[in-house]
Structure 1
Amino acid sequence: MIIKSPRTATIMLLLVSLFWGIEYVLIDLAVARIPSHTFNAIRFALAALCLLPLLWFSQKTTKPLPYSSLIRAGMLLGLLLFIGFYTQTEALRFTSVSNAGFITGLSVPLVPLLGLLLFRNAVKKSVWLSVITATIGLYLLTIGEHLTFNKGDTLVLICAFAFAIHIILTGRMVDSLPVIPLSIVQLVAVSVYSTSAALLSPDPAFYFPEAEPISWHQQLLTPVIIVAVLVAGILGTGYAVWAQSASQKLLKPHKVALIFAAEPVFAHISAWLFLDETLGEKGMIGAGLIITGMLIAELSDRNHPPQMRPLDKTAAPE
């Protein structure tokens, strides 16, 4: 499969935001029963397994893979994902979904800001306009009248920085490394990091210390855990990491961050459909501003279209 259209890449990332928005409730229910490290270890292992067939069917060259570069890059990107997903998952035990959604969305302004500070990436005025517009929209959509800051909010703030740096570094690495193997190495790395953290923790791996002891198979075979792992592992992790890496062959980091700002919009839509929750006036305005920010970025990029390149190369370019 070769994708050459930035529009297709945008749709792929919008689907990621959709899956992330839907899985919020499932993960919130899951981490109330199973520790975050254990949940993420299983989630990312499943995601890596799901991408193996894609690697097999995409082998169209006899070129050797750059294993050393892949492992180094994958371990670094995987570390950022490990930090981001652990802090976000753990934070849901202490803070509201609204606070988590907005603070995670701070990765939108952090991407161009950190790109400018770390790598001197040039940022157009239209980018700042779109970022500011989307950030205001995130605030109105998720916070409402006030923001209370607690331990969970601090964890989500760390998550926002980790995701922002991950987006920036992914944009630099996918130009020289094959997308599918890089995605798989990242996923395996997160699973290994999470497994190590679960084993090194003094707390039980499959239940919380204050809860009644339970065996691993009794815990993992409960419907809530099964559904959460399948949805988060296959769609919210396996597909998401591959889609982000592939799309960043064509899309700039700031635009990827802006598309991901749609995540709380989808979260609220799913809550409206399944939980009969409504956005309210501020929420509607916020959702509109997020979409406006994405449109500003899209229209400004039309004057400078990116170079079209195949995305699914399984060997590094010469």
Structure 2
Amino acid sequence: MPIRSPKVAVCLLLLVSFVWGAEFVLIDLAVAKMPTHAFNAIRFCVAAVSLLPLLWFSRHQLQGVRWLPLLSASALLGFMLFIGFYTQTEGLRFTSVSNAGFITGLNVPLVPLLGFLLFRTQVARSVWVGVIVATAGLYLLTMGEALEINRGDMLVLICAFGFASHILLTGRFVDSMPVVPLSILQLIAVAIYSTIAAALSPEPALYYADSTPLTWQDHLQDPIIISSILVAGILGTAYAFWAQSASQQILESHKVALIFAAEPVFAHLAAWLVLNEHLGNQGLIGAAMIIAAMLISELGDRKQKVTVQPLDQTAVISK
């Protein structure tokens, strides 16, 4: 059925945040064995293939599609994703998980800020309050007592700009383009960019230079890598970016960013359940502030009339 309710869209994006948070442990283990470019190339190939069945539901929408604008938009969105995923993973090699989590979370305030600077997009005062509260909550949830800027921090800062730009640009494209082809093509673009980057890199494509040489057969027999690719590719990538594209036909970009700010909350919950890690008082306060920020943004917009436009018929969830 078509997605027409903002509440359904919010639930879809919260599920995306949950998947992203829960898969962190698997991906962290996988990229310790397989370099980032190779992992992302396979991950995004799996993601693109897993979305292909949805083309059956949207095949009538392919008639009359303007392919050049669609391919151009997909290449640009894919490049933003490629930059975001690569710099985040690579940055973790040089900085702490806490620093990376907070700096990645800066895409929350960056979305309305870049939207205002680039497109003069006006947002309600309640949204700015929510952004400030969410940023403070992310700090308490992920940071220690001091913030030290290093090479990894700068890489992850680029990641935050990449993800924020992707959210903004998705909001500009989804109203005029079919969601499923747009989602599939941008995932293919990331796989192509990652493959090219792996081929051009002076380092080995399938293993780290200072580790034991590995082949494709070795990786295919590793349950951690296989499970990571399947979970990250199908749920964390294919479903996630289809849900984002479909939901942004109803929700504004800044609201999507605030919902995605719940990702570190779910990541800590997964770590607590799987690794027996605990948030502590500071982390609990930060998580509560993130949830409060989402509520502030939503409740503050209640007085404004919400315009719900008919969704593209390709944005469907099969029963």
User: Bigger shift: 45-54 or 59-68?
Assistant: 59-68
Rounded to whole Å, the distance in 1 between the matches of 2:165 and 2:9 is: 20
Cα offset for 1:300? 1.8
Q: Is the 8 A contact 2:61 2:178 kept in 1?
A: no
Q: How many Å separate the matches in 1 of 2:35 and 2:62?
A: 43
Q: How does 1:1-318 map to 2 (within 5 A)?
A: 1-61=1-61, 63-314=63-314
Shift of the alpha carbon at 1:96?
2.3
Structure 1 residues 189-198 or 54-63, which shifts more?
54-63
* Structure 1 contact 141–285 (Cα < 8 Å) conserved: yes
Could you say what secondary structure the match of 2:59 adopts?
coil
Given that 1:247 and 1:311 are in contact with CA atoms closer than 8 Å, whether structure 2 keeps it comes out as no
Q: What SS is found at the alignment partner of 2:23?
A: helix
The answer to whether the 8 A contact 1:58-1:312 is kept is no
Alpha-carbon shift at residue 125 of structure 1 (Å): 1.1
- Could you tell me which runs of 5 or more consecutive residues in structure 1 were left unpaired when the two chains were aligned: none
Q: How many residues are treated as equivalent by the alignment?
A: 315
Post-superposition shift, 1:313?
A: 2.7
Structure 1 residue 101 displacement after superposition: 1.2
Separation in 2 of the partners of 1:56 and 1:182?
Answer: 15
C-alpha distance in 2, partners of 1:32/1:310? Answer: 44
- What is the identity, as a one-letter code, of the residue corresponding to 1:186? Q
Task: Please tell me the root mean square deviation across aligned C-alpha atoms, in Å.
Answer: 1.4
Offset of residue 194 of structure 1: 0.3
Moved more, 175-184 or 305-314: 305-314
- CA-to-partner distance for each residue in 1:145-197, whole Å, 9 max, x for gaps? 22233222211110000111111111011111111110001000000000011
1:84-129 Cα deviation digits (max 9, x unpaired): 0111122222222222111110000000111111111112211110
User: In the TM superposition, what is the alpha-carbon distance from 1:307 to its structure 2 partner?
Assistant: 2.2
After superposition, what is the alpha-carbon deviation per residue over 1:256-308, rounded to whole angstroms, capped at 9, x for unaligned? 00000000000011111111111111111100100000001111222224322
- What is the rounded CA distance, in whole Å, between the counterparts of 2:30 and 2:184 in structure 1? 24
Query: Residue 309 of structure 1: CA displacement?
Result: 3.0
TM-score (ref. length: structure 1): 0.96
Segment of structure 1 superposing worse, 144-153 or 260-269: 144-153
Q: In 2, are the aligned partners of 1:74 and 1:186 still within 8 Å (CA)?
A: yes
Which stretch shifts more, 212-221 or 300-309?
300-309
Instruction: Give distance in 2, aligned partners of 1:296 and 1:77.
Output: 29
Alignment check: 8 A CA contact 2:258 2:294 kept:
yes
Does the CA-based 8 Å contact 1:58-1:314 persist in structure 2?
A: yes
Q: Which amino acid aligns with 1:135?
A: T
The CA distance in 2 between the partners of 1:272 and 1:32, in whole Å, is 21
TM-score (structure 2 length as normaliser) = 0.95
Q: Which amino acid aligns with 2:205?
A: A
Any conservation in 2 of the 1:251–1:306 contact (CA below 8 Å)? no
- Please identify, of 219-228 and 112-121, the stretch whose mean Cα deviation from structure 2 is larger: 219-228
CA contact (8 A) 2:219 2:226 kept: no
Q: CA deviation at 1:221?
A: 2.7
Change (3 A) 1:6 1:129: same
* Residues 28 and 93, structure 1, Cα contact 8 Å, conserved in 2: no
| C-alpha distance in 2 between matches for 1:181 and 1:65 | 10
Q: 2: CA distance between counterparts of 1:92 and 1:46?
A: 24
Query: Aligned partners of 1:188, 1:310: CA distance in 2, in Å?
Result: 27
Alpha-carbon spacing, 1:61–1:117, altered in 2? closer, same or farther (3 Å): closer
User: What is the CA–CA distance in structure 2 between the aligned matches of 1:292 and 1:61, rounded to whole Å?
Assistant: 40
Q: Partners in 1 of 2:109 and 2:260 — Cα distance? A: 12
* CA distance in structure 2 between the aligned counterparts of 1:113 and 1:35, rounded to whole angstroms: 33
Could you tell me the percent identity over the aligned residues?
65
